[in-house]
């Protein structure tokens, strides 16, 4: 039984644009934010939802959380239709927006949690147990009496996560949770999410631009572009489609001329340093290495795969996004 | 109903209101100056041509209006900003009614906000000489009716403000509509000119309008312009308007929620 079931989901917005001089009324155009999107997610899955800006990711999350009503299509989350059953639905989901605070700005975070206890009608003991568990895991103990506005970005994100999980939601939406965080905070946040997903079987839908997040957390990714679902499957499958090129960086003791390399290699030169991008399918690595060695006395050589961001950028380009 | 949730929201906003001490002090000074100017003005007018309404009653009316000034103007700039940016939609992820959430919040702001300002201001006005400051209520019963009327007035004005916000959600421009409604409220609630000074025929109409239910109705009970015997009728009218305005507000917010589209989402 699938936990989230989305079929032919469409959402269009009407945008009013100012016309050129001489027209009294603004021009109305319709923007198709989601175009027949269908997918399903099982309970306990951790899914990455990626795509360039304006692809329709946030629109999907808003519809799934009951904030927005779609133009057409059907959505069931845990058997509920989010927008018709909003309040009951809200009781079972948690939402964290990396760029917007869901807690109360001017009060100690504990006050926010107390208010959430009443808003979600949590029983005192259940609330306390869960709060203790979360404050320990998220290292919030000493911060409980500090107002949200005085917390650092990393602390604030931990506080937001705690607030969104107090009522033990079945489904957690994370919208760019690691945005602006330092390396240590990012890593510990990922660890926490993995544990939460494992221990409580919380279904997590993660929207992000940080591919490291996806690589670290999600076994499954969905790629959205121009409102259409372009890929749904494992991250490794996705990457292997685009992960063809390799990069060799080589620097010589003296400036050297590299001539005679096939056109299929892209070479960029900075002083005595060269960067060669090639596809092992077309150019043999053994031959290339031999050639480079023959060209002069090598001081340093590194070989690497493509970085994940470059891959995604390439994928977006090829998908014409 | 999630009464406990709304009560908690109310409490939280009460506490928040306590934090803005600077705003409270500024408000008090501003309203004290306004009160003194208005009373001097009426005294000058009375010196030329005394009116039916004694000057002591007029000055009391002015001071009560000034003391509870925080009640009348729409004050939640936070909410206005949220409506403009569309962030208000994010409040829908809570298992609450949006209307109830903001009603509790506005009620808390208005009640705590005016209480904090009213107490020192009324103490000040009590120290002023007779005819300049505020009189004691005509009787303990009148005072009790005044307090009850004030509470209904608070609910009434919160309902009114939620309607203003509901309209703002449609126009997405809080300034224009708020400026207009605020002006209307200032005049028709008796803040600029006591409603008791209008011609009798006008008063019949104005006192039946919702704006007169905020402060004018309770103040009349305090000063004895309206007898305690007439209190039930007056309080009932206040309550009736509160119910109607709340109903209109809920309907407006419901329909807004249906067409809610997040800007820039």
ipTM confidence score: 0.85
pLDDT, tens only, B174-196: 677 778 888 889 999 998 889 99
Most confident of A6-20, A63-77, B40-54: A63-77
**B12 vs A contacts (CB less than 8 Å):** 104, 107, 111, 115
Inter-chain CB proximity B92 and A86 less than 8 Å = yes
Residue B263: the pLDDT is: 47
State the Cα–Cα distance between residues B71 and B107, nearest whole angstrom.
Answer: 9
Q: What percent of chain A has pLDDT over 90?
A: 51
Residue of A61, A66, A71, A87 to mutate, interface with B, max B Cβ within 10 Å? A87
Is residue A14 predicted with pLDDT exceeding 60?
Answer: yes
Inter-chain CB proximity B89 and A120 less than 8 Å = no
Residue A212: the pLDDT is: 87
Reported confidence tier of residue A316, pLDDT bands at 50, 70, 90: confident
Reported confidence tier of residue B75, pLDDT bands at 50, 70, 90: low
Long-range contact set of residues A181-188: C-beta below 8 Å, sequence gap at least 24: A181/A153, A181/A154, A181/A157, A182/A154, A185/A153, A185/A154, A185/A157, A186/A210, A186/A212, A186/A213
Is residue A193 predicted with pLDDT exceeding 50?
Answer: yes
Residue B77: the pLDDT is: 75
Q: Which residue has the higher pLDDT, B263 or A88?
A: A88
Decide if A121 touches B, using CB distance below 8 A: yes
Cβ atoms of residues A174 and A203 within 8 Å:
no
Q: Which residue has the higher pLDDT, A238 or B121?
A: B121
Cβ atoms of residues A148 and A101 within 8 Å:
yes
**B261 vs A contacts (CB less than 8 Å):** 13, 68
Q: Which of A312-316, B23-27, B140-144, B226-230 has the lowest mean pLDDT?
A: A312-316
Q: Which of A196-200, A288-292, A316-320 has the lowest mean pLDDT?
A: A316-320
pLDDT, tens only, A238-264: 888 877 788 899 999 888 888 778 888
State the Cα–Cα distance between residues B9 and B239, nearest whole angstrom.
Answer: 23
Residue of A97, A116, A118 to mutate, interface with B, max B Cβ within 10 Å? A118
CB within 8 Å of A318: residues ≥ 6 apart:
A242
Distance in Å, alpha carbon of B259 to nearest chain A alpha carbon: 8
Average per-residue pLDDT in chain B?
A: 89
Distance in Å, alpha carbon of B4 to nearest chain A alpha carbon: 6
Residue B1: the pLDDT is: 61
* Collapsed DSSP state (helix, strand, coil) of residue A229: strand
Most confident of A10-24, A153-167, B75-89: A153-167
**B93 vs A contacts (CB less than 8 Å):** 65-67, 90, 93, 95, 102
Question: Hey, which residues 203-242 in chain B have their CB within 8 Å of chain A?
Answer: none
Q: Which residue of B has its CA nearest to A86?
A: B95
Decide if A62 touches B, using CB distance below 8 A: yes
Q: What percent of chain B has pLDDT over 70?
A: 96
Residue B127: the pLDDT is: 94
Reported confidence tier of residue A21, pLDDT bands at 50, 70, 90: low
State the Cα–Cα distance between residues A264 and A91, nearest whole angstrom.
Answer: 57
Q: Which residue has the higher pLDDT, A45 or A17?
A: A45
Distance in Å, alpha carbon of A285 to nearest chain B alpha carbon: 47
Q: Which residue of B has its CA nearest to A163?
A: B94
Residue B176: the pLDDT is: 77
Residue A24: the pLDDT is: 67
| Domain boundary assignment for chain B | 2-259
User: Dihedral of CA A222/A224/A228/A230: which sign?
Assistant: negative
Average per-residue pLDDT in chain A?
A: 89
Reported confidence tier of residue B264, pLDDT bands at 50, 70, 90: very low
Residue B179: the pLDDT is: 83
DSSP 3-state percent helix, strand, coil across chain B (nearest 5): 80, 0, 20
Decide if A88 touches B, using CB distance below 8 A: yes
Single out the residue of A293, A212, A280 nearest to residue A247, CA to CA: A280
């Amino acid at each position: 039984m699938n936990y989230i079931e989305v079929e032919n989901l469409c959402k269009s917005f009407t945008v009013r644009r100012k016309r050129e001089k001489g027209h009294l009324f603004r021009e109305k155009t319709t923007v198709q934010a989601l175009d027949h999107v269908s997918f399903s997610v099982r309970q306990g899955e951790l899914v990455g939802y990626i795509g360039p800006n304006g692809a329709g990711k946030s629109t999907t999350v808003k519809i799934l959380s009951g904030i927005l009503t779609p133009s057409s299509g059907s959505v069931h989350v845990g058997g509920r239709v989010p927008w018709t059953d909003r309040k009951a639905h809200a009781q079972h989901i948690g939402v964290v927006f990396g760029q917007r605070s869901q807690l109360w700005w001017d009060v100690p975070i504990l006050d926010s949690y107390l208010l959430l206890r009443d808003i979600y009608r949590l029983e005192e003991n259940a609330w306390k147990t869960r709060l203790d568990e979360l404050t320990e895991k998220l290292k919030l103990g000493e911060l409980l009496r500090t107002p949200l506005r005085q917390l650092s970005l990393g602390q604030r994100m931990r506080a937001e996560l705690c607030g969104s999980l107090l009522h033990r939601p079945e489904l957690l939406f994370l919208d760019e949770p690691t945005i602006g965080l330092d390396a240590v905070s990012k890593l510990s946040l990922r660890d926490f999410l993995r544990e939460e997903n494992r221990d409580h079987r919380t279904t997590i839908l993660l929207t992000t631009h940080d591919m490291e997040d996806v690589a670290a957390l999600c076994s499954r990714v969905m790629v959205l572009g121009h409102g259409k679902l372009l890929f749904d499957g494992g991250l490794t499958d996705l990457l292997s489609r685009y992960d063809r090129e390799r990069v060799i960086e080589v620097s010589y003791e003296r400036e050297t001329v590299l001539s005679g390399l096939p056109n299929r290699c892209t070479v960029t030169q900075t002083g005595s340093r060269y960067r060669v991008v090639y596809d092992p399918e077309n150019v043999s690595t053994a031959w290339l290495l031999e050639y480079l060695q023959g060209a002069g006395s090598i001081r340093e050589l590194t070989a690497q795969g493509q970085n994940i961001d470059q891959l995604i950028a390439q994928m977006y380009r090829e998908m014409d996004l | 109903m999630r009464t406990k949730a709304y009560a908690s929201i109310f409490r939280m906003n009460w506490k928040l209101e306590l934090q803005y001490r600077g705003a409270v002090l500024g408000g008090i000074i501003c309203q004290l100056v306004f009160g003194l100017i208005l009373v001097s003005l009426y005294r000058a007018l009375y010196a030329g041509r005394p009116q039916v309404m004694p000057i002591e009653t007029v000055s009391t009316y002015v001071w009560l209006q000034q003391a509870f000034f925080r009640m009348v103007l729409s004050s939640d700039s936070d909410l206005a900003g949220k409506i403009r940016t569309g962030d208000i939609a994010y409040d829908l992820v809570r298992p609450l009614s949006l209307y109830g959430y903001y009603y509790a919040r506005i009620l808390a702001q208005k009640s705590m906000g005016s209480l904090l300002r009213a107490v020192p201001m009324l103490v000040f006005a009590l120290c002023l000489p007779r005819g300049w400051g505020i009189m004691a209520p005509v009787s303990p019963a009148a005072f009790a009716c005044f307090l009850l009327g004030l509470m209904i007035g608070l609910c009434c004005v919160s309902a009114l403000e939620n309607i203003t916000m509901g309209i703002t959600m449609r126009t997405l421009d809080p300034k224009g509509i708020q400026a207009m409604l605020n002006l209307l409220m200032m005049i028709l609630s008796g803040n600029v000119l006591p409603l008791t000074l209008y011609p009798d025929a006008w008063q019949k109409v104005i006192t039946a309008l919702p704006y007169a239910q905020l402060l004018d109705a309770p103040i009349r009970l305090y000063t004895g312009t309206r007898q305690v015997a007439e209190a039930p009728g007056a309080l009932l009218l206040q309550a009736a308007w509160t119910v109607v305005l709340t109903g209109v507000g809920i309907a407006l917010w419901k329909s807004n929620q249906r067409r809610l589209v997040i800007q820039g989402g």
